[in-house]
Structure 1
């Protein structure tokens, strides 16, 4: 019989009481027995404190109390929850040391623990040393292989289990089906499905979920639907799986219908369901819908978690919605997520990609801890904004802080050197990669250097750099050279680069358009015509230019010649009026960039219709006291629009920030941050 303190201790254990109170009562026991130690370890684990459970186990050893089978079982489960491999190996050694090597219950727990630690060899050693194996042993081993991304080994274990005459249970089947998903093995998945139906297991919700996922992964969405519709007992897990299947197969509306059905139920939705649909909407390009659902999630009383935040921030980036990003930042502050490096880094990236580098820096410098990804994000953010010197300074700060740079770090730094014409500094960094950091430059690093040399007008050196690459030159390298040929009007080198590009990526319409424009500007209209003809013959269609801008809570999108805005008349009137002022200030339209058979006046009008100019005009008309506007474009900003934006920003007296796929352009006082090299 337990003494009085032990009885109080038992009553205080969760879920009946408070874990802190339980610990206080435990400490009052003069000589706690192994049962009390085991109960405390289990209590910490069940209360979600596996690390504390391991500390209690270590304390047990310090007091020279020998653990029994149940104590070892409790600490093994705690270590599985923590996923700490070093601790796991120590516990395994204790199991052997105290004579439980062949214990089935402990053996199964150890296999599961190693699976959670993603250490297949340790699990296999335990499995092979078991004298007797039950269905849990085989299931745990198979599941371990799936967790360790070894699907073939998982299926081999499953076959071996069947040959040994061990009958799989629902947990076994729901554990092995993901291996079929990983391997896209539809035939084997169907065999397992047949076994499930023959043995009447098809109504198990976990098995059904695994089947739906398997069929969806194997691009058999109709079969996934049949399994879902034939399951009598569906729950959130199954609904989340079919929603993910629909999103992955481009059937966003079907997924949203399932979500609406879930919301009509009486039970409150959990994080998994909300996160599944938010992530799916972003994956499907429905960013507005994702942000709307986030708002509805908060209204329903469910607080966003880390997964919600890191999945929804890219939606703000896609829309260029810094306003929404700030709202999410406020949400992070309210819910105290800012201790998490992943969330912090996503926030840094969001601000940088939405055009506010200063806010991005502020968030970065208040981070309590910065890993390689965080440093890379800030370096790349500065590079995108043409802040090459700042990117180099961050690189030096990163090295002095003891954080080791990786391949992505150097891509960011070299890109910054390229955008800021820091060619020689870029070359020094490039050649230091192998010598000082042991990182072999890849094609992306070479392309960055080609870009840097090309932008600086060192075209011959850039061409020779491409020729010296130890791997096949990429489209990015040749594309950088071709872009510079446009700026520096080098037709011969443009021919060489263009020939390579049309061979490497014949489906990229941008290469044809750029090469044609170079020939057109050089008055080589016959060659320009040949490129356009080749484009038509190959069925290559130019991606239409599209620009967007957020005003208040709404994102407004424009295409070339757009007249769908409620303010269309005001936009074109403004462009006409400001166009006259721009001419007086010295602006001359670059009509050579209009590769069409139009007269001069028509060409000028065509340039004024470009999407980025329409979006900028709309933003200026709706400034409402703001000193800057942010325009986002899906294609590279054209040369004439780039020139026009400089005059527009100076005449109107605002800062115009334009983000295209390559970088940010900050137009202010008649100048651009890129110094006309982009």
Structure 2
């Protein structure tokens, strides 16, 4: 402390000491010395001095000292409390603000119009509706409610607490309505989705002689976007521009997401031009919004260009780029961009990693998703409750059970396993990995369930062909007052079709509309066609298609063609195939199904015609492919492929097993080879089916009695089905095989499907 300051404090004159205390320049040390001097001189009893000290302590954030000081004042006045209350509220210490306000009232000190707005702000910030209403009541009884600043603060409070009716009542009785209060009310209505009310209040501003400012316009644009009224947000932006108000960075950042969701690419380009013209191209928030907009509008070239032209890239823009590629199915480009950014040592966050994992999981790059999850943890980025549900489908897609269990363990360790989205993903993962009993255990333990949880467990049982359990779950769902949705009925119908519950399936199809007013969608008709077709009622299935209220798509005709393949119905099969050739001209699966129908009838000339047609279109049959996880590693085997390092051992083991089958009177079902070749060649072809190769690989690399799990990209053939039933008994194994239709659980020479698939 300077000598001059010491000389000032040496004097006993009150004015001299008071003038020496400056809020902006007095240090904490000087404040404490002044405090001590006031105590020595007896001037401490003067509230002018103590209020000044309180302000200084608050300015230095020494709230413990300030509280000791205010507790030592015998008769504090409104200024003593208002200093601290204002500072607490300004710093976001809302509980301290309300507590000090209560102490003020207990001392019999009545607040003034400068204290109330700070207290109301604290109630608003802590979402304390009850406390705010009590303050409002006090203001009414004390007459403070007539003050425009108090009225404005209360309007903001009710808007923040989503009590728009109270806010509007206050607005209607305001003595001096201002632009701040109007903007708050308008923004509140817009955010809550009350479009009409927001526009009415906005229109009243002109009647009241209040000119909207940028905050008013931005509140409307941002609010409509937030509440999902995207068209209103865009129209308000255009109106703002036509009225001569210049949109700022906040406006542009708020309207671009609305443009994105509407996929108004032309409007997006115009806003982009405006942003460049007015120098907003260096605003990272706006650039990220532009990248996101172009991605959602499927303009990936423009999206990449905006990203490449960024002067300084930030993680938000990187995430928008990755999501844009993923949204457009450009998984390779997303991976390339992510790896490039990672190599540049840009600090990618949990959103970045989650986005790329989700992208790979959704677009068939399941192994890449698992590898990325491991790299994410190696990089020190902690997965969250969004990451795990994005990863788990990849585990389920390729039956990577050990990886799924590891993710489950991580969710337990981090305390996110009870999250409803994580829980739903775990139910789905265990079902996809063949562990439907674990799915049910996890479902039963969930503390909170939403419709997705119910649908996940029902879908799991449906995939396993357990229609009885699906129907029981549905009854339990109805008893718990959870209303089913369209996905629920898809699971019900699918389960019934897998188990041959034809009458039950038709019953629930009728209940959709009758009991729940859910209009059947295209997928429900596809399930109904499958239900009837699989039961051999091909003509009834075709009749359903002709009576549909909308045009049947490839899924519906594909369901009919698949049933014709199972039941060798050539006439309706040809009709279904012709429709599919029109709807899906580049789908080789439809040509293969028709070819198989001809082959079953021995019509080899017709088979050759279909295959020549495929060749002329440059199409090839999708090769059979199976996955099996062995010792935490996923192996992929292609039908007829000889590249696996253990292929010699696999074929030798398969030959030995084949001999054992024949000894027991079980011979290869060569009718499933739909080629015009000798029986010996047919047996050789059957040996190359991918699911057989995967099962035998599992036998070679695991101990006797171990469970095997195989995923196949096509429907399992009848010969493979017989072969795996034999192996389950001969090798004493439980074997799970998931094909495109359902799960087959082989045990003791039997299959859970009951040979109905």
Same fold at TM > 0.5: yes
Matches within 5 A, 1:492-511: 492-511=571-590
Give the aligned partner of residue 677 of structure 2. 598
Which of 403, 421, 440 is residue 482 of structure 2 equivalent to?
Answer: 403
Call closer, same or farther: CA 1:606–1:138 in 2, change over 3 Å: same
Q: How far 1:395 sits from its partner (Å)?
A: 0.9
Which of 186, 189, 212 is residue 114 of structure 1 equivalent to?
Answer: 189
Give the aligned partner of residue 201 of structure 2. 126
After alignment, is 256-265 or 630-639 more displaced?
256-265
1:565 aligns with 2:644: yes
1:667 aligns with 2:749: no
Matched residues in 2 for 1:64 and 1:494: separation? 80
**Paired residues of 1:101 and 1:129 also in contact (CA < 8 A):** no
Call closer, same or farther: CA 1:488–1:585 in 2, change over 3 Å: farther
Q: How far 1:397 sits from its partner (Å)?
A: 0.9
Q: How far 1:548 sits from its partner (Å)?
A: 0.9
Which of 367, 370, 373 is residue 288 of structure 1 equivalent to?
Answer: 367
**Paired residues of 2:361 and 2:394 also in contact (CA < 8 A):** yes
Call closer, same or farther: CA 1:63–1:415 in 2, change over 3 Å: farther
Give the aligned partner of residue 342 of structure 2. 260
SS in 1 for 2:702: coil
Give the aligned partner of residue 432 of structure 1. 511
SS in 2 for 1:428: helix
Call closer, same or farther: CA 1:676–1:173 in 2, change over 3 Å: same
Matches within 5 A, 1:224-623: 224-248=303-327, 250=330, 251-260=333-342, 263-265=345-347, 269-283=348-362, 285-623=364-702
Q: How far 1:351 sits from its partner (Å)?
A: 1.6
**Paired residues of 2:164 and 2:185 also in contact (CA < 8 A):** no
SS in 2 for 1:30: helix
Q: How far does the alpha carbon of each residue in 1:33-52 deviate from its partner, in whole angstroms, 9 at most, with x for none?
A: 47666545645765xx5xx3
1:89 aligns with 2:164: yes
After alignment, is 387-396 or 188-197 more displaced?
188-197
Matched residues in 1 for 2:229 and 2:654: separation? 61
Q: How far 1:217 sits from its partner (Å)?
A: 3.7
Q: How far 1:202 sits from its partner (Å)?
A: 1.9
Give the aligned partner of residue 75 of structure 1. 157
Q: How far does the alpha carbon of each residue in 1:12-49 deviate from its partner, in whole angstroms, 9 at most, with x for none?
A: 669686x6666555544436747666545645765xx5
1:633 aligns with 2:722: no
| RMSD across aligned positions (CA) | 3.1
Give the aligned partner of residue 224 of structure 2. 145
After alignment, is 108-117 or 566-575 more displaced?
108-117
Give the aligned partner of residue 70 of structure 2. none
Call closer, same or farther: CA 1:136–1:314 in 2, change over 3 Å: same
Q: How far does the alpha carbon of each residue in 1:163-217 deviate from its partner, in whole angstroms, 9 at most, with x for none?
A: 2221221112222233443444444434333333333222111222223333344
1:154 aligns with 2:229: no
After alignment, is 486-495 or 645-654 more displaced?
486-495
**Paired residues of 2:455 and 2:491 also in contact (CA < 8 A):** yes
Call closer, same or farther: CA 1:241–1:645 in 2, change over 3 Å: same
Matched residues in 2 for 1:105 and 1:614: separation? 73
Unpaired stretches in structure 2, ≥5 consecutive residues: 1-76
SS in 2 for 1:587: coil
Q: How far 1:574 sits from its partner (Å)?
A: 1.4
After alignment, is 598-607 or 151-160 more displaced?
151-160
Unpaired stretches in structure 1, ≥5 consecutive residues: 80-86
Matched residues in 1 for 2:472 and 2:694: separation? 35
**Paired residues of 2:715 and 2:739 also in contact (CA < 8 A):** yes
Q: How far 1:490 sits from its partner (Å)?
A: 3.8
Give the number of equivalent residue pairs: 663
Matched residues in 2 for 1:107 and 1:261: separation? 50
Matched residues in 2 for 1:71 and 1:626: separation? 72
Q: How far 1:70 sits from its partner (Å)?
A: 4.9
Call closer, same or farther: CA 1:204–1:500 in 2, change over 3 Å: closer
**Paired residues of 1:53 and 1:78 also in contact (CA < 8 A):** no
Matched residues in 1 for 2:377 and 2:549: separation? 53
